[in-house]
Structure 1
Amino acid sequence: MFFTFASKRHARLLAALGPGLLMAGAAVGVSHLVQSTRAGADYGTSLLALVILACILKFPFLEFGPRYAAATGESLIRGYRRLGRWALALFALITLGTMFIVEAGVTVVAAGLAGVVFGLEASITQLSAGVLISCLLVLAIGRYRGLDLLMKIIMTVLAISTLLAVLLALGSGPEWRALDPLANIDRVWTAGGIAFTLALLGWMPIPLDVAAWHSLWTLERAEQTGQRPSVRHAVFDFHLGYVGATVLAILFLLLGALLLHGSGEPLPASAVAFSGRLVDLYALTLGEWSRPVIAVAALTTMFSTTLAVTDGFPRVLRALIEVTGKVEASEDAVADAGRHRTRYVGALLLVTIGALVVIHFFGHRFTALIDFATTVSFLAAPILAWINLKLLTSEHTPVEYRPRGLLLGLAWTGFVFLVVFCLIWLGWRLL
């Protein structure tokens, strides 16, 4: 009987796994490949401690997504509506104000890498269209099941290839001074250093609005498996993905420090040129044979991010439409499911077309585009942190699943951290 119980418990845990890897796939992208690598290339390991601190202090607010979904059976977005229209409006404003730029930012990097890896001679808009069409096919044909399976494969390949790349870098006799965290600290305390640091923290390891995405993925996974996860299993799944995303952020920063710091090679401003330069410098340092390893790590990173983001925003838009109460359910469950799916596809096309418009006009300045998007996400972080904390400590969350003890203390510490750094940014911009 014990083995039967253990087997059932194991099966329930396996049924809960998936949303955490989707969150990791969304996280491990621009913030890691571009921003973490730039941090290592420009500042060595001087920003490493701050990256780790940001990951720790953002942890509670992102964990609240799957916690709330598993505890209540509804998404954070519906929870925001329960708090009041003000909370839902703030979240909607942040989402609508950033979704095209965020989608464009992750897509141009994936497109640039695809052009380099496959040797494609095309404009950044054409390459981006190809990447987005690939994502659309996966999401339209495979739906959540296809997304879940493909993300597990991608994240496995990514973790192995990135770890291998770091080990190769450590074994190639790099400039060890680049690993001294104090060697470049003076460069951090400059106008450019502070601006980059705040942009880095905006998406490190992922924007806080992804907590709402995670809650939607948790519910979708429950519908797919026919089993609503326990809070314990949902949180374990989140821990798995979040720890993986944090470790990979550290690895990409180390790659930038070990291979690019002090090289004298400026990182280009266009997506294709940036991607090509990144892979070239790694190959020159480690040897030409290592080029496929670096290319696979980089391309899988960005495709996983683009795929997750391309799914996340339409889910949020559909949830916002449905939670306003303007869409009423009927007695025909099949018809309701069809309309539910239609709203997702319509939102998917809207986000894709909007991103392509942004890419067409601003894709040639992708580093500026990414810095803008990450900075906006950073400034929005205290607002989202406060809403999530208020919801999880309110009457809308069952008492036994409300954050307490260390988690609650960490949440308040993280909230203060986000507010202080936003004030620093505002003071820096004003003065």
Structure 2
Amino acid sequence: MDLSGWHGIRKTLGPGIIMAAAAIGVSHLVQSTRAGAEYGFALVWAVLLANLFKYPFLEFGPRYALATGQNMIRGYAKLGKAALWVFVLFTLLTMFAIHAAVTIVTGSLASNLTGIDLPVIAWSGIVLIVCVLLLIQNRFSFFDSLIKALMVIFALSTIIAVVAAFSITGYQAEPGFIPPDIWTVSGVAFLIALMGWMPIPIDAAAWHSIWTVEKMKLTGYKPKLSEVRFDFNLGYIGAALIALFFLALGALIMYGSGESYASSAAAFSNQFLNLYTLALGDWSGIVIVICAFTTMFSTTLTVTDTYPRVLTHILNVLKPQTETSNNRIYRILLPLISAGSFLFLVLLGDQFRLLIDLATTLSFLTAPVLAYMNHKLIHHPDIPDEFRPKPWLSRLSIFGILFLTLFAFIYIYWTVLI
């Protein structure tokens, strides 16, 4: 690629990394590690298929933003009021559960990182306050730069942990260990929860379209489609690989050890870090805790920023006169949504596994509808031909809708009808 090409990529790079920061959180640190810990490498196929079949629907987000100069929320309105209200309803149904789930994991890890013994709910509140203070000025450039820095720290620490695990430990279970069967009610429920956020909910296509529009406004540069896709693929493929890294860590260190995943966030955090240091040595403790906390803080920061931004754009569509007050609306919604998520945590308590499985399952069950909406939107007559997906991507999109629908019915069959 010539220098002018790299110049364009440099101006475009950012939204894909923000998406990766949002993705590499509970789905990776908790669910992927738990998949490896409980089933070894048996669920690699689920991670790969979830990433493959969600790819088109998430790629359509930045593609739509580049093609139209607008975010997908406005696109849903073009599909009709029903499509817009489906997105609004799904956002409101999952918003507090998703935000609370990522925050409570971050809070539990903050306690380990600092050594300050506070209840995990208190730490969750502190994490939310820090995120709100960092974001209150609504400066996308600062948010963009901070996430990039956090992701560099995270990537380096993760690579160190994975290399150490492969070189020091072996993939073997304790004598007499009986591998669990995934095709049970509890197994299928976990499988759906694993794929629900793998690598990220399909709602994130609309989030990504907002970040892409913001990036174009910030730089004053309209990128080529190839540059936008490079940014997206960098974040998406990176997130998929890191999911496999965490599954491998769980399989190499926890599988067949007789340990079961903790049901509270505080216990999970201690268990997670202790098992790694026992397997890799005390030297790894600081690497693991930095890796884990950086992962979850970047996710929490991204989600804390995203929902006020999404709701602001929903208001813009429903009431166009609000567009002149976007900064003020964002600054009002930012603490309000964070307070709502904190209240959600207080009411639910430290029901760690319940909270995460609830949030991830809701995301998966809503995925087929959102996938169909994204497919229909990117093939809308208003989309110029040069921005339409290639035939292979359109076909993958159709297969993705069938895949997501099939597993939604499998979940309903195993958990409701049996």
Give the TM-score range, shorter chain. over 0.9
For 1:328 and 1:116, how far apart are their aligned partners in 2?
A: 43
* C-alpha deviation, 1:176, in angstroms: 4.0
- Counterpart selection for 2:362 from 373, 376, 384: 376
Matched residue SS, 2:346: helix
Deviation by residue 1:60-101 (Cα, 9 ceiling, x = unmatched):
000000000011100000000111111100000000111011
Structure 2 unpaired stretches of 5+: none
1:423 paired to 2:417: no
1:27-426 → structure 2 map (5 Å cutoff): 27-141=23-137, 143-176=139-172, 184=179, 187-327=181-321, 336=324, 339-426=325-412
For 2:105 and 2:353, how far apart are their aligned partners in 1?
A: 10
For 2:128 and 2:26, how far apart are their aligned partners in 1?
A: 16
Decide whether the 8 Å contact of 1:82 with 1:396 is kept in 2.
Answer: no
Specify the alignment match of 1:13 in structure 2.
9
Matched residue SS, 1:188: coil
* C-alpha deviation, 1:327, in angstroms: 2.2
Decide whether the 8 Å contact of 2:97 with 2:355 is kept in 1.
Answer: yes
Alignment-mate amino acid for residue 148 of structure 1 = D
For 1:128 and 1:13, how far apart are their aligned partners in 2?
A: 36
For 1:169 and 1:176, how far apart are their aligned partners in 2?
A: 13
Matched residue SS, 1:396: coil
For 1:131 and 1:64, how far apart are their aligned partners in 2?
A: 32
For 2:243 and 2:171, how far apart are their aligned partners in 1?
A: 20
Matched residue SS, 1:373: helix
Decide whether the 8 Å contact of 1:270 with 1:363 is kept in 2.
Answer: no
Deviation by residue 1:384-429 (Cα, 9 ceiling, x = unmatched):
0000000011112112211131111111111100010011111112
- For these two proteins, the number of residue pairs brought into alignment is 414
Matched residue SS, 1:215: helix
Decide whether the 8 Å contact of 1:124 with 1:363 is kept in 2.
Answer: no
Alignment-mate amino acid for residue 295 of structure 2 = T
* C-alpha deviation, 1:326, in angstroms: 4.5
* C-alpha deviation, 1:142, in angstroms: 6.7
Decide whether the 8 Å contact of 2:18 with 2:302 is kept in 1.
Answer: yes
For 1:295 and 1:10, how far apart are their aligned partners in 2?
A: 35
Indicate the larger mover: 8-17 or 279-288: 8-17
Decide whether the 8 Å contact of 2:136 with 2:334 is kept in 1.
Answer: no
Percent identity reads 46
Structure 1 unpaired stretches of 5+: 330-335
For 2:124 and 2:312, how far apart are their aligned partners in 1?
A: 24
Alignment-mate amino acid for residue 417 of structure 2 = L
Specify the alignment match of 1:333 in structure 2.
none
For 1:175 and 1:241, how far apart are their aligned partners in 2?
A: 29
* C-alpha deviation, 1:141, in angstroms: 4.0
For 1:328 and 1:264, how far apart are their aligned partners in 2?
A: 56
* C-alpha deviation, 1:143, in angstroms: 1.9
